[in-house]
Structures are given as structure tokens and as C-alpha cells.
A and B are shown apart, each in its own frame.
Chain A
Amino acid sequence: MNKRVIYPTDDGGVAIIVPAPCGLTIEEIAVKDVPAGKPYKIVDVADIPTDRTFRSAWEYA
């Protein structure tokens, strides 16, 4: 699945949900695995940086 779900963390960062091949759609996984009350976006995997040197500085936008 070439999609990811992103949502803001409580400390100002961003969490990225990586779906497993479990039979659920990315939308169903987002509803189930994003913490209640958090906004989220479904993005292409290509939109996620692969250089994680400054991972802690990533922000939800």
C-alpha cells in the first residue's frame, strides 16, 4: 500500500501510520489507529522524507 496516514503528536511533531496488509483500507486503518480527536491526512508514501536525520523536527502541516 503506497499510502500513509499522518497526524500531529502532542509534543508538536508528526506521527506516520504505516499500514499492514491486513484486509482493511487505508481509510479504515486511519479511523481505527489515529488517536481519537486527532486530525489526520492520507498522503502518498513519496511525500514522506526518507532521510530521518532530523526526524524529531518533522511537523504536521
Chain B
Amino acid sequence: MSIELNGTTGITTPDLTSTDDITANSSAVLTSASLPTALNATGSAPIYAARAWVNFNGTGDVAIRAAGNVSSITDVDTGTYEVNFTTAIPDENYAATVTTGLSELGGINALFTLLPSTNSFRVYTYAVAGGGAGAYRDTADISAVVHR
């Protein structure tokens, strides 16, 4: 048997006649059985990986600290941001989890999302202080994760 590596045409294996000729080190192969162990997960519950995530500063010079499958953040207005996906999510029925730090102006930050689409969703940050009327507030530490 011979195996030829060629950068132009890939791998050719002219003498392989059945899958019996192929062996691999099982400890190095990722399978459905070994994946949970590789992720330090126990039990039989299924694992659903995040499809997109972002950590950004919504104050001053609004900026993205780090992200995965997010092409940009749109600063729409005070306390109003849109998360845009690099690659679209399969449908609009995903779960978007959003967190933030405490409001710089005190009070409680209310977070909610609207306008979910396969390409983006909108995040609002709203502060209510002392039981009075609330208002949209910019927030420095906003994180969002999408599961589907």
C-alpha cells in the first residue's frame, strides 16, 4: 500500500480496497461518544453549542471586545444596540441570553430583546432607579449568547 500526499490533488490511496485497510488511533478521533468527555460533560443530556456570542462596551466609543459569529454591533440609540450575525442562524426561534453589569447611573438594568431575525436581533438596556420612571441607558459591559 502507498499513500501519496500532493498539495494540488490531495491524498491518493491507490492500494486501499476496503475500510478495513484504514485504522486510526481512537483516542485522537472525535466521535459522538467522546465529544461529551472532551467537553467535560457528564450524563446523557444533549449538548447544544452556542451559535454566536459577543462582549461589547455600549458606552463612549462603542466597541466590541470579542465575538464569535458576529460581524458587527449597530449602535442604534441610547441603550439600543443590534447584534448582527456573520453567518445567519437557521431560523428565528433561537434563545438569546443577554447580561450586563450594573448601571453606571445606579438602579436596575432591565434587558430585553426584540426584532429577532436570522441575521440579527436587538438588545435594549433600561435603568430604573429608586422606583421612579426608567430610561434607556448605555451600559459598559454587555454580553450576548445565542443558542439554537
Contacts and interface: CB of A to CB of B under 8 A. Distances in A.
Interface residues of A, number: 22
B60 A32 contact: no
Given A20-B67, A20-B71, A20-B73, A56 B56 contact: no
A29 to B, nearest CB: 5
B57 to A, nearest CB: 9
Interface of B: 54, 56, 59-64, 67, 69-78, 82, 84, 86, 120, 138
Contacts of B86: 20, 22-24
Majority secondary structure, B binding face: strand
Interface in A4-41: 5, 9, 13, 15-24, 29, 32-33
B74 A16 contact: yes
Contacts of B84: 17, 29, 32-33
Contacts, number: 70
A15 B71 contact: no
Most buried by B among A5, A9, A33, A56: A33
Nearest to B57: A18
A18 B63 CA distance: 6
Given A45-B61, A52-B60, A18 B75 contact: yes
Nearest to A48: B61
